[in-house]
Structure 1
């Protein structure tokens, strides 16, 4: 068995898989950064674990904490390359693509056989174009909904950090802030989708902790799907295990 780890800026998502055809998820969950040590209990609970495979965008401190919690198990981190899992990386420097975005694209390719826009809404929002032939065409990174609101509160004297509500025509400052941040997310997604809108079967694959906040604003073909990163990691790890055997 393999422990998959998606170390994000806010949470650590994990899944235990049993390699084979098809891959089988045995157990999964999520941990706050301060609870990384709980991975040790997860490793003890699944005695058949042979390795840990993941992606990390949270920095070296988090990577070291995960390695310490997993004890004697080898921890391998995904490094983006030119191609993998049916996806071709057209970044000018493929190795500079974020590992989480790379894994999510590979997960999307396992899920949807046509052109798609892969959107992960978390601390940051990533909006990535994937062609029907598996070419990663490029994408956006923008502050997530909460980060947008926090930046307004930090950078202005009179705009508060408060819980507003979405409105098409906001008439309170806190609603104007919330609505502006949500419209910015939806607008970026819809503008990117225009590039593949005419492709047969094109859809937006939307996931992440903030996805629900603006999903209903999107006027494009949409499929809600979470944990594309773990799905991509599983596809890579499972293929490698099959190859070794």
Structure 2
């Protein structure tokens, strides 16, 4: 069976996975600056028959370089419907491809309603009904982005490690606690809005800061690695299935 390469080209890193059929053979991540070395190492290992699927929310020049070096890549874009998920955005095509892939993954990982939370450079919080309808979602600065913005916008606040403590009694802890609780508060508030129509919903939390944020949530939640790549895997698997016949003639029992 032909291998499948999955690429999640994010704002700061490239996440990837190599599949044999539906088996995850290996996966990893690298910073944008290290992509040329990653390409060089990966290119010699991939047979010509490799299928390539990707999500890109970074600069287009990086996507073009990946295609130039690795071959054609099927870049996922949001649409009105895909793999059981219906897009509720006013303009479906304007939904970020990474959020779309994460929603597809969530629908195939969880039977009920879900709050799909991806914690990276930005934090996204998306409402997914049990029947696959995406109702809409939030975008806010990610945990690290929040802390860095304080350094850029103020004269004397440091970018320093602190602990989450209530009440915080020093500046480092005040920054750490404030930024984390801003994330937690947005997620929990949106969950309560959602819970009014979707009883029994669970938050599926993914991304680099998922463990930190999920540990402070008091709503039903679980962490899931690589939601975006998992969504791409669903799309890749669907693309290998034969197109259903439209012949509606009855056959003998």
Q: Which range moves more in the overlay, 108-117 or 157-166?
A: 157-166
Structure 1 residue 165 displacement after superposition: 1.3
Equivalent position of 1:66 in the other structure: 66
Counterpart contact for 1:153–1:160, Cα < 8 Å: yes
Per the normalisation by structure 2, the TM-score is: 0.90
Structure 1 residue 227 displacement after superposition: 0.6
Equivalent position of 2:247 in the other structure: none
Matched ranges for 1:4-19 at <5 A: 4-19=6-21
Distance in 1, Cα, partners of 2:234 & 2:175: 40
Structure 1 residue 69 displacement after superposition: 3.0
Structure 2 unaligned blocks of 5 or more = 245-253
Counterpart contact for 1:79–1:99, Cα < 8 Å: yes
Distance in 1, Cα, partners of 2:218 & 2:26: 35
Q: Kindly tell me: are residues 244 and 54 of structure 1, through their superposed partners in 2, closer, same or farther at Cα, counting changes over 3 Å?
A: farther
Q: Deviations over 1:17-53 (max 9, x none)?
A: 233xxx2222211121122121342242232643211
Structure 1 residue 161 displacement after superposition: 1.6
Counterpart contact for 1:116–1:196, Cα < 8 Å: no
Distance in 2, Cα, partners of 1:243 & 1:5: 24
Distance in 2, Cα, partners of 1:153 & 1:223: 31
Equivalent position of 2:214 in the other structure: 215
SS at match of 2:34: helix
Q: Deviations over 1:121-176 (max 9, x none)?
A: 01110000000111000001100111111111111122222112111100001111
Distance in 2, Cα, partners of 1:196 & 1:113: 16
Counterpart contact for 1:104–1:118, Cα < 8 Å: yes
Q: Deviations over 1:68-108 (max 9, x none)?
A: 331xx211211110000110001000000000000000000
Q: Which range moves more in the overlay, 189-198 or 83-92?
A: 189-198
Per the normalisation by structure 1, the TM-score is: 0.93
Q: Which range moves more in the overlay, 85-94 or 189-198?
A: 189-198
Equivalent position of 1:143 in the other structure: 141
SS at match of 2:14: strand
Equivalent position of 1:180 in the other structure: 178
Counterpart contact for 2:214–2:222, Cα < 8 Å: no
Equivalent position of 2:96 in the other structure: 98
User: Quick check: which has more Rg, 1 or 2?
Assistant: 2
Distance in 2, Cα, partners of 1:208 & 1:133: 24
Distance in 2, Cα, partners of 1:67 & 1:49: 15
Equivalent position of 2:56 in the other structure: 56
Equivalent position of 1:42 in the other structure: 42
Distance in 2, Cα, partners of 1:178 & 1:27: 34
Give the number of aligned pairs: 240
Counterpart contact for 1:126–1:140, Cα < 8 Å: yes
Distance in 1, Cα, partners of 2:166 & 2:148: 21
Structure 1 residue 200 displacement after superposition: 4.2
